[in-house]
């Protein structure tokens, strides 16, 4: 293989396979396609930096430096793959072309949609203005995760609010994991009794799968966390250090004063994806068959990762199972053959419950546990699982997933 090459922004070109997005899903698919012997692949992504986002919870919890989650995008583009350093702004499936911000159009024979999702900070009044200051933070952006740790470290009394949006989101466990990391730190500092912790959750339960719900209820009880079920943070007043919590059942509003707030923004497909013929549903994610990840309307198009409209949690672990399915079906389509690979909805949520313990929740579309460690009881909090998340998973990601080996 020759090293990867770059294509100037705004140029017009045509490639056998165009992968939109150079994140977890895009790079893993491109790497697997090269390993399968597919040529003339282009990855379309403007970013110079590739982030391992699952580590940001630990960055916010003071357990990992931000730099360990960063690599240069150039270092991850597979050999023999062309990198188009531009942003997609539209897709025309009839013309089989993607329009880019630089003004050109990229033609394709096959298209893999993996641009991720967008954080809709402006959907909560006051949040965009307050984030990163006024005691408001979020581990969902690299620039704010270190601020989370500053706030946690500096807090000795008062009210801490943690929120979960009422939209699909990446890593559904992350909004509560940071609450547990903070609470355990405050416990170790001897100040937990002086801090009121409120977790605002749009769902009626802490987790989708009952066995882990029971375990998390014990964690919440241990730390004395007040959970506002079926509720959502709907407004933020950073200057006054107040936020509005709305009961989704009754519409009743409550004003909460806070000293720190870890708020997770609503999330949706990128605006250009929402406006495309590929989108479906209220959040504009790409319509695909949930088992083959192939568009039912345009069989030359596949989607995976956060942008795919699938009834499962949006995680990197899900991508690890989706990527080989996409590649098998795509390669078979090139040969005019069928493929038997099916994605069963597998996803994984490493639920950090303390500064040295974790629950590993793995399940499928039917919410049935799907353990990767049959000899280990992952229904209980474990230190070895925390070590696995902090030190083993990043290695698997950088060396295995991003090279198409895992």
When pLDDT is cut at 50, 70 and 90, the band that residue 375 belongs to is confident
Mean pLDDT to the nearest integer, 94-99 = 98
Task: Please check the confidence at residue 130 and state whether its pLDDT lies above 90.
Answer: yes
Mean pLDDT to the nearest integer, 222-248 = 98
Mean pLDDT to the nearest integer, 336-344 = 95
Q: What is the pLDDT of residue 252?
A: 98
Is 374 exposed, middle or buried (CB count within 10 Å of its CB: 0-12, 13-18, 19+)?
Answer: exposed
Q: How far apart are CA 226 and CA 196, in angstroms?
A: 8
Mean pLDDT to the nearest integer, 369-378 = 87
Mean pLDDT to the nearest integer, 243-265 = 98
Cβ proximity of 31 and 83 under 8 Å: no
Contacts of 401 (CB under 8 A, 6+ apart): 24, 28, 316, 319, 320, 323
Q: What is the pLDDT of residue 1?
A: 37
Cβ proximity of 289 and 310 under 8 Å: no
Q: What is the pLDDT of residue 10?
A: 56
Q: How far apart are CA 391 and CA 56, in angstroms?
A: 14
Task: Please check the confidence at residue 2 and state whether its pLDDT lies above 90.
Answer: no
Task: Please check the confidence at residue 11 and state whether its pLDDT lies above 70.
Answer: no
Mean pLDDT to the nearest integer, 51-78 = 97
Task: Please check the confidence at residue 343 and state whether its pLDDT lies above 80.
Answer: yes
CA distances 46 to 4, 6, 21, 72, 89, Å, are: 15, 11, 9, 12, 12
Share of the chain above pLDDT 90, in %: 95
When pLDDT is cut at 50, 70 and 90, the band that residue 378 belongs to is confident
Cβ proximity of 253 and 246 under 8 Å: yes
β-sheet bridge partners, residue 232: 246
Cβ proximity of 80 and 34 under 8 Å: yes
Query: Among the listed ranges 23-32, 40-49, 386-395, which one has the minimum average pLDDT value?
Result: 386-395
Domains of the chain listed by start with CATH number:
5-117+269-343 (3.50.50.60), 120-266 (3.50.50.60)
pLDDT in tens, 191-207: 999 999 999 999 999 99
Q: pTM score, two decimals?
A: 0.95
Q: What is the pLDDT of residue 82?
A: 97
Task: Please check the confidence at residue 137 and state whether its pLDDT lies above 90.
Answer: yes
Is 3 exposed, middle or buried (CB count within 10 Å of its CB: 0-12, 13-18, 19+)?
Answer: exposed
Q: What is the pLDDT of residue 3?
A: 63
Most distant CA atoms of the chain, gap in Å: 66
When pLDDT is cut at 50, 70 and 90, the band that residue 9 belongs to is low
CA distances 144 to 66, 174, 182, Å, are: 10, 14, 16
Q: What is the pLDDT of residue 401?
A: 96
Mean pLDDT to the nearest integer, 35-64 = 97
Identify the CA nearest to 234 among candidates 280, 167, 290, 291: 167
Task: Give catalytic residues, as residue numbers.
Answer: 171, 349
Average pLDDT, the chain: 96
């Amino acid at each position: 293989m020759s090293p990867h090459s770059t294509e100037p922004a705004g140029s017009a070109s045509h490639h056998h396979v165009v992968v939109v997005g150079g994140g977890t899903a895009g790079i893993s698919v491109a790497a697997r396609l090269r390993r399968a012997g597919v040529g003339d692949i282009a990855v379309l992504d403007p970013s110079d930096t590739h982030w391992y986002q699952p580590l940001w919870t630990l960055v916010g919890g003071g357990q990992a430096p931000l730099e360990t989650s960063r690599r240069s995008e150039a270092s991850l583009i597979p050999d023999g793959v062309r990198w188009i350093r531009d942003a997609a702004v539209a897709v025309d499936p009839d013309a089989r072309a993607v329009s880019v911000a630089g003004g050109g159009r990229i033609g394709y024979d096959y298209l893999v949609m993996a641009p991720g999702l967008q954080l809709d900070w402006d959907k909560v009044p006051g949040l965009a203005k307050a984030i990163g200051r006024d005691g408001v933070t979020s581990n969902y952006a690299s620039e704010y995760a270190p601020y989370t740790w500053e706030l946690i470290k500096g807090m000795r009394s008062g009210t801490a609010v943690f929120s979960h949006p009422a939209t699909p989101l990446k890593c559904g466990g992350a909004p509560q994991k940071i609450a547990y990391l903070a609470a355990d730190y405050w416990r170790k500092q001897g100040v937990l009794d002086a801090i009121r912790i409120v977790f605002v959750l749009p769902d009626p339960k802490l987790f989708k799968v009952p066995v882990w719900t029971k375990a998390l209820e014990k964690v919440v009880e241990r730390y004395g966390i007040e959970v506002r079920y079926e509720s959502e943070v709907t407004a933020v007043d950073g200057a006054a250090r107040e936020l509005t919590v709305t009961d989704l059942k009754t519409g009743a509003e409550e004003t909460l004063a806070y000293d720190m707030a870890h708020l997770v923004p609503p999330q949706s497909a990128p605006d250009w994806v929402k406006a495309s013929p590929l989108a479906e549903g209220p959040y504009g994610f790409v319509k695909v068959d949930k088992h083959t990840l192939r568009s039912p309307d345009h069989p030359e198009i596949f989607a995976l990762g956060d942008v795919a409209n699938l009834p499962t949690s949006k995680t990197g672990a899900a991508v690890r199972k989706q990527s080989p399915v996409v590649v098998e079906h795509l390669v078979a389509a090139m040969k005019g053959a069928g493929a038997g690979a099916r994605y069963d909805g597998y996803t994984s949520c490493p639920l950090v419950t303390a500064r040295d313990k974790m629950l590993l929740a793995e399940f499928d579309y039917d919410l049935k546990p799907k353990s990767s460690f049959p000899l280990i009881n992952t229904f209980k909090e474990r230190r070895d699982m925390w070590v696995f998340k902090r030190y083993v998973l990043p290695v698997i990601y950088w060396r295995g997933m991003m090279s198409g080996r895992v």
